Amino acid sequence: MTDEARVQGEDTKALFLELAATRDTGVRDRLVTAHLGLAHQLARRYANRGEPYEDLVQVASLAIVKSVDRFDPERGVEFTTFATRTVIGELKRHFRDKGWAVRAPRRVQELYLELGKVTESLSQELGRSPTVAELATATGASEEAVLEALEAGQGYRTSSIDATDRNEETLASHIGGDDASMDTVEDRELLAPALAKLAPREQRILQLRFGQGLTQSEIAARVGISQMHVSRLLAASLERLRRSVTEAGAVERR
């Protein structure tokens, strides 16, 4: 069983209560490890915006650590909701600071850099995030130019609709719409023995696709085979898993 399945099975909230009471680093580590999948998923969602995927995973993973340290289980909010908010915030900050693989005209880049400085000073001065009008006044640019620079500055090439290889793959394969069957702990527990029966390469491809959320093209590059081949292997592996799970279910019902 994976760490994630184990932790979720034991009740995340109970573990957070234990962490709050004991500050046990072992409990903390288990909670972090159990939610690294979310970091990968979110990093994947905002990949292809000029920053290396591995860097995004690192930023997102650190945000998970931060989330575990700051989460208050008594507040009545799901940890995943709290963590998603934290991870997105950290990724946005990361893009703001480093997201400069943008193919934008120099004037837009310069304005974006200026906006970064002005936003910071105005935020301190006003005690809130400045408006577009305030930024336009402070920089002497038009509101339209401010909006243009803010759009360009974030890269805005999320991995889904904006994906460059969209002709090869459907949008669903980018946004993970076909991952639903992997979502529940029950499914994972049921799948574990079936997964173990697959060849190591098939297991790896499934892990890259569903564990790390990579696209078929990215998996192809990693594994050194064509995207079509990845597609075929995924389909065959999923079919075998489906059959194994159905057979296991039939045995259990007997």
Partner 1 sequence: MSTAGGQTATLAVDLSIPVQADLVVLARLTAATVAGRAGFGVEDIEDLRLAVEELCLSLVGGAKDGRLHLTYECEGDAITVACRYEDAGTPAGPPGQGADDLSLRILDALVDEHGRQIRDGHPSAWLCKRRSDQPA
Using CB under 8 A as the criterion, which residues of the chain lie in contact with partner 1 when the complex forms? 38, 41-42, 45, 80-81, 84-85, 88, 92, 119, 126, 128-135, 143, 146-147, 150-151, 154, 156, 158, 160-164, 166, 170-173, 175-177, 179-180, 183
In the complex with partner 1, which residue's Cβ is closer, 145 or 223? 145
SS (H, E, C) 56-84: HHHHHHHHHHHHHHHCCHHHCCCHHHHHH
Place of tokens 């939610």: 35
CA–CA separation, 97 vs 46, rounded Å?
A: 15
Residues 197, 199, 200, 202, CA torsion sign: negative
Question: Phi first, then psi: what are they for 21, rounded to 5°?
Answer: -80, -35
CA–CA separation, 84 vs 87, rounded Å?
A: 5
In the complex with partner 1, which residue's Cβ is closer, 73 or 130? 130
Nearest to 153 by CA among 104, 119, 106, 120: 104
Smallest distance, partner 1 to C-beta of residue 88, A:
5
Ramachandran area for residue 11 (φ above 0: left; ψ -120 to 50: alpha; else beta): left
In the complex with partner 1, which residue's Cβ is closer, 132 or 223? 132
In the complex with partner 1, which residue's Cβ is closer, 172 or 192? 172
Smallest distance, partner 1 to C-beta of residue 151, A:
6
In the complex with partner 1, which residue's Cβ is closer, 12 or 244? 12
Smallest distance, partner 1 to C-beta of residue 143, A:
6
Smallest distance, partner 1 to C-beta of residue 249, A:
23
Smallest distance, partner 1 to C-beta of residue 234, A:
15
